[in-house]
Every structure is written in C-alpha cells, then in structure tokens.
C-alpha cells in the first residue's frame, strides 16, 4: 500500500477545505445530481453551455468526502472554457488516471493528476469519479446519476 500522503496530498486537502467554483449557478442550461449510495455522498453540478457547445461556467455544491469534494473542485476548474468534445476527452483521460496503474498520467490532465493516488484505493475510486459522472449526466440531459 502506498503512502497515505499520495492520496491526501496538500493540493487535495486545500481543495477540500477551500473548494473552488462552489455554489449554485443560476441561471444554468444544464444540471444533474450525483449520488454515491456507498458513502452517502451527494453532489450537484450546474453549468452553462454556449450555443457553440462551450462550457462558459460550471459550479457545484454538495456534501462528500475530501476526495469527492477536491475532485469536483479541480474538475470544475479544469472544465471552464472547454468544448463538450474536449471535456469528454478529459473525462476519459481522468478515468484512465484513477483506474489504470500501468499508465503515466497524461500531461493534458494538468493538476487533475494529483488524484492519481486514488487508484491504490479501489473503494475510493468512485469518490473521485462521482463529479465526472454527474457532469456527464448533466450534459446528457439526465437529472440524476448514481455510482452504483
């Protein structure tokens, strides 16, 4: 088992304590609620998508563990200004980051790479991916998503 510091890095602890883009976004064009039944995490993501399909603003609220909160905070930071296609590519890279130990983090991930430590903790992967599933549900037009 790796060092605990690999999971709870300073950046993660900081995003947990001072989450970015935290708050309800009104008005918004897309929104979804994410739910992790295993730990009771609840997450709400709202965003504004331009006519051209660019994420103009994205925010979140919710109650969850440090990993899910930090992941939502860093995700919303990373998604601002991206097109849907770019966002989906980033989501795929993130999924690989937190599940595939054989690969080095893609440089495009930027500070999302701090969440790589979670792949050593299979029970916690869902905490890190919940914000992404919720974002994905929002752009798909789903209202609710669950990690189960």
**Under the rule (CB under 8 A), what is the footprint of other proteins?**
1, 4, 7-8, 13, 16-17, 38-42, 63-67, 121, 123-124, 127
Between 42 and 48, whose beta carbon lies closer to other proteins?
42
Between 7 and 138, whose beta carbon lies closer to other proteins?
7
- Give the bridge partners for 55, in sequence order: 49
Output the six-digit token pair for 90: 């980033």
Output the six-digit token pair for 95: 């999924």
CB 98 within 8 A of CB 7: no
Q: What distances in angstroms separate CA 106 from CA 9, 78, 94, 112, one per listed residue? A: 19, 14, 9, 10
Nearest distance from C-beta of residue 124 to other proteins, angstroms = 6
Between 18 and 102, whose beta carbon lies closer to other proteins?
18
CB 9 within 8 A of CB 3: no
Nearest distance from C-beta of residue 6 to other proteins, angstroms = 11
Nearest distance from C-beta of residue 47 to other proteins, angstroms = 24
Q: What angle do CA 105, 98, 40 make, to 5 degrees?
A: 150
Tokens 């990373």 belong to which residue? 78
Between 55 and 115, whose beta carbon lies closer to other proteins?
115
Nearest distance from C-beta of residue 42 to other proteins, angstroms = 7
């Amino acid at each position: 088992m790796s060092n605990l510091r690999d999971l709870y890095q300073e950046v993660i602890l900081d995003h947990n304590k001072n989450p970015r883009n935290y708050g309800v976004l009104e008005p918004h064009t897309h929104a979804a609620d994410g739910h992790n039944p295993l730990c009771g995490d609840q997450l709400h993501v709202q965003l504004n998508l331009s006519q051209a399909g660019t994420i103009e603003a994205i925010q979140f609220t919710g109650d969850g563990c440090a990993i899910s909160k930090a992941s939502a905070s860093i995700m919303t930071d990373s998604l601002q200004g991206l097109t849907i296609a770019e966002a989906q590519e980033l989501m795929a890279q993130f999924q690989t980051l937190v599940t595939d130990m054989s690969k080095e983090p893609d440089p495009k991930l930027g500070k999302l790479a701090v969440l790589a430590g979670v792949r050593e903790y299979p029970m916690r992967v869902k905490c890190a991916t919940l914000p992404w599933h919720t974002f994905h549900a929002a752009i798909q037009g789903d209202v609710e998503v669950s990690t189960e």
